[in-house]
Chains A and B, each alone.
Chain A
Amino acid sequence: MITALSWLGWALLILFILFAIAIPLSVLIWWAGWRKATPQNRLQPPGPPAAGPFLVYLSGVDDISGEFSTPFEDALLDAIAERIPGLVIVTDVFAYSFANVGITSEGNLAWFWAWLNSLRLNKKSPLRRVGRLINLRNMLHVAVSADRRYGPMYNYGVAEMIIQALLRHGYVLGSGSQVALLGYSGGAQIALGTSGYIQATLRAPVQVFSLGGIMNSSDSLSRISALTHLYGTRDRWHHLSDLIFPARWPIFRGTQWNQALAMGKIEKVCLGPMVHTGRGSYLDATRYVEDGRSYLDVTADTIAERIMRLTPSTAATSLGA
């Protein structure tokens, strides 16, 4: 029995390693041009022009596609939209695919991910926890985005998908409208990684919001206007980045992260006693801080205030830098 379990353990480990290697390899193979572009890669007709500003939301690692979102996420985005007149919100980008392909809709393993997702959503299923494999899959994509070898290519691919989504939502090339990227948890790494390409391509002010985000240092920090890291005192996950990414260790002062921190480009904002996800998280509208605002309102206020703060005059300064 123990031998069989041991063999199973080894088989699962080898399977995991192969899967973990397959993700960066698929990025490299796409980059090398060995794989044909997926239909999503073709530019779709632009939507009716909008003045913006634009907010692109990249979900956390439990996401499965650009279309999937939780009611809590929708509530946060609605709350931000209520605070900023003309804000265009873009949610149809799947951060964990360089081709913006949802994991349950295409590919050889689509059936497998769809099955896992159905397990995850079925609260009575004893195999519900197996659905966490989706999180693991997406975490590996976060690791690819954060890796200095693969990140430039992966982030380039996702950045193109974001720009296409912006065009679908009415972004006018050359308008200089502000683009804000909001990444929740692992989505923050993708938001930061892609932001430099978006700024360099659109030549517009770009700022990044990290909601309890996990992020490595990035070359994007030299291009973007600001990075705001929002965290809660009970969120244990957001500390992870300070430990696992050496480029964020204070002893390496020359890294992009520490330079941006010294220049004041990175702002760390404590929102209150929030946890990472679930009840008591940044998206909770049923718990309140001392001034009577819900956790969700605090999060929405903080983000909206900073989007409003990046006026065209400050944007011009940032672009000239």
Chain B
Amino acid sequence: MTLPIEWLNVLLSPQAIAAATLLIFLAGLSEGVGTQGVTLLMSRITPLRFAMGLLASALLYVLSAVIWMWTLWLAMRALFGVEVPLRLFFVTVSTAYGPLLLGALALLPLVGPAIRWGLRLWSFSIALASIVAVTGLTHWQAAVGALAGTLLMEGARWLLSEPAEAVARRIWALTTGKPHLVRREELPQVIPGYEPVVKGER
């Protein structure tokens, strides 16, 4: 299945790019509420810092999505000689972020993480279908291209992991006002004010 020609003008318009970016941003915000939100509140930050942290996380999410789609596009070109404008590819593949608008459902107790993975699978299947639609490749070729693109991005992330982590730490510290994320293992085990006073202990 390929895209009808009359759709192309719509998909290449600036409004389409803006709508795609907004969709990814909202998906990032929803996913941020579902995952990052828990960590932020666990770290006992103020409401303002919480909002800033979520905003920063959604902006980083958009950046990461753009880089992912760019590496996919590069992989499709290199592997299968696909000649599709990057704008068109971006707008079409961004539809894959639609299901992730429900990312906040990850907050549901016990079933939340499973829902999150379900949404990601759904999103990935939409990504494959949209790649097939925009490039005319088969599903298998699209899957190989998507895997290659993802590996390319992960490879770059691994190479740049140290500076990227330093930047992420800096952004975290700036937005939340806390030096680092509080992990579950770091939560207090003893409830202050009720411990028995033992001689020799301060």
Contacts and interface: CB of A to CB of B under 8 A. Distances in A.
A25 B42 CA distance: 11
B10 interface: no
Contacts of B104: 21
Contacts of A24: 38, 107, 109
A321 interface: no
A146 B113 CA distance: 13
Contact of A174 (B107, B184, B198): B198
A226 B112 CA distance: 31
Interface in A142-162: 143-144, 146-150, 152-153, 156, 159-160
A43 B191 CA distance: 13
A156 B188 contact: yes
B42 A153 contact: yes
Nearest to B108: A20
A31 B196 contact: no
Contacts of A174: 196-198
A150 B44 CA distance: 14
B189 A197 contact: yes
A34 B47 contact: yes
B4 interface: no
B109 A147 contact: yes
B191 A160 contact: yes
A149 B38 contact: yes
A173 to B, nearest CB: 5
A143 B195 contact: no
Given A31-B41, A32-B44, A156 B191 contact: yes
Interface stretch (A47-55, A117-125, A199-207, A229-237): A199-207
B42 A31 contact: yes
Given A31-B41, A174-B197, A140 B109 contact: yes
A71 interface: no
Interface residues of B, number: 27
A240 to B, nearest CB: 12
Contacts of A316: none
If over half of A's interface residues share one DSSP class (helix, strand or loop), that class is named, otherwise mixed; here it is helix
Interface residues of A, number: 38
Interface in A1-43: 17, 20-21, 23-25, 28-29, 31-34, 43
* Most interface-central of B45, B108, B188 (chain A CB within 10 A): B108
B110 A29 contact: no
A200 B196 contact: no
Contact of B110 (A143, A159, A202, A203): A143
Interface in B157-194: 184, 187-191, 193-194
B41 A202 contact: no
A163 interface: yes
A267 B198 CA distance: 33
A196 interface: yes
B105 interface: yes
A242 to B, nearest CB: 15
Interface in B130-156: none
Interface string A170-198: 00011100000000000000000000110
Nearest to B195: A201
Contacts of B194: 160, 163, 167, 173, 201-202
A139 B191 CA distance: 25
A167 B194 CA distance: 9
A144 B194 CA distance: 25
A147 B197 CA distance: 33
A17 B190 contact: no
Nearest to A172: B196
* Most interface-central of B38, B41, B193 (chain A CB within 10 A): B41
Contacts of A197: 189-191
B38 A201 contact: no
B189 A144 contact: no
Contacts of A196: 189
28 contacts: A23-B109, A28-B37, A28-B38, A28-B42, A32-B41, A32-B42, A32-B45, A33-B44, A143-B109, A144-B109, A146-B109, A146-B110, A147-B109, A149-B112, A150-B38, A156-B188, A160-B194, A163-B194, A173-B197, A174-B196, A174-B197, A174-B198, A201-B190, A201-B191, A201-B194, A202-B196, A203-B195, A203-B198
Given A173-B194, A201-B195, 6 more contacts: A24-B107, A28-B42, A146-B110, A147-B112, A201-B190, A202-B194
Interface of A: 17, 20-21, 23-25, 28-29, 31-34, 43, 140, 143-144, 146-150, 152-153, 156, 159-160, 163, 167, 173-175, 196-197, 200-203, 244
Shortest Cβ-Cβ A-B pairs, 9 listed: A174-B196, A28-B41, A143-B109, A32-B41, A200-B189, A147-B109, A143-B110, A201-B191, A21-B107
